[in-house]
Amino acid sequence: MDVDRSSTGAVRTTLLLTAAYTAATSRDRATALGLLDEAQEETERRQAVPGLFTVDVSQTQVDVYRIGVLNALGTPDEGVKVAARLNIDRMPTAERRARAWTDTARMWHALGDHPQTFAALRKVEQEAPQEARRPALRALTADLLYLPARVPGVREFAARTGALAG
């Protein structure tokens, strides 16, 4: 495959994924899902282009964006099947794996599955500890910390990541 053509396809796919997420944050479900499907088709047509971009163009990356898009659309339940088939460990960088675990944690949190939320947050910390200290994830951790039902280990995690006021 011609490298220039492959690079162009990778850039196009990356833009489609970004646009899908943008449409989702605007609550434009039809556009968001249409762009995701187009990115999916583009990914299926092209071989991976390693090393050119921080976002790899692969089925895994499309799936991670799909979970984020479904979260943004307020339909995280639709992401459960996607998360089940996702192999985050195969993603090329710790930062991308941490992002995938972040989106998965948000999905489980929105669904009220606190142990799964915490498990995903611990994976974020394992992959890229600085990511677990971001304000949005500290807020998610604090939500778990102050639930009526306790999740074992959350208090220690909250202290370690700065979510526990101390």
- Both 72 and 92 in one domain: the answer is no
Strands (E), the chain: none
Provide CB contacts within 8 A for 105, sequence distance 6+.
117, 120, 121, 124, 137, 140
Q: CA Rg, the chain, in Å?
A: 17
pLDDT in tens, 95-153: 989 999 999 999 999 999 999 999 999 999 999 999 999 999 999 999 999 998 889 99
Which residues constitute the domain of residue 151?
88-166
Provide the whole-model pTM.
0.88
Cα–Cα distance for residue pair 15/122, rounded to 1 Å: 30
pLDDT in tens, 46-64: 766 555 555 567 889 899 9
- Both 33 and 61 in one domain: the answer is yes
Other CB atoms closer than 10 Å to residue 27's CB: what's the count? Answer: 11
Domain count, the chain: 2
Q: What kind and span of H or E run contains 56?
A: none
- Both 76 and 152 in one domain: the answer is no
> Residue 149: what pLDDT?
86
- Both 107 and 162 in one domain: the answer is yes
